[in-house]
């Protein structure tokens, strides 16, 4: 589940990054200046966004795929203890 959440978060982050790069083509002449001055801030923002997206997908996947897990495990354990399979 962690790998799936990380993959989904990475895909969303890359999609957002590509969208922003496509919309900001007018900044191409200033690419060097932006990279030198704001690379660290952009990297920190991207890392924070990736962590938040990962948390979102991890919670969503937990809600969707692991709902009623406790009840299912209790039923399975009851079957094992009674000897029925």
Domain ranges of the chain: 2-82
What whole-number percentage of the chain has pLDDT above 70?
A: 87
Tokens 């952009």 — which residue?
42
Whole-number CA gyration radius for the chain: 22
Average pLDDT over every residue of 54-61: 95
The pTM of this model reads: 0.74
Average pLDDT over every residue of 15-31: 95
What is the Cα–Cα distance from 8 to 21, expressed in whole angstroms? 20
The 10s digit of each residue's pLDDT in 35-56 is 999 999 999 999 999 999 999 9
Q: Which two tokens stand for residue 45?
A: 């923002």
What is the Cα–Cα distance from 43 to 49, expressed in whole angstroms? 10
């Amino acid at each position: 589940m962690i790998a799936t959440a990380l993959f989904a978060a990475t895909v969303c982050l890359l999609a957002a990054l590509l969208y922003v790069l496509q919309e900001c083509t007018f900044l191409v002449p200033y690419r060097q200046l932006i990279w030198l001055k704001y690379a660290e801030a952009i990297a920190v923002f991207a890392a924070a966004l990736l962590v938040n997206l990962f948390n979102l997908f991890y919670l969503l996947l937990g809600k969707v795929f692991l709902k009623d897990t406790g009840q299912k495990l209790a039923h399975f354990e009851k079957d094992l203890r009674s000897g029925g399979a």
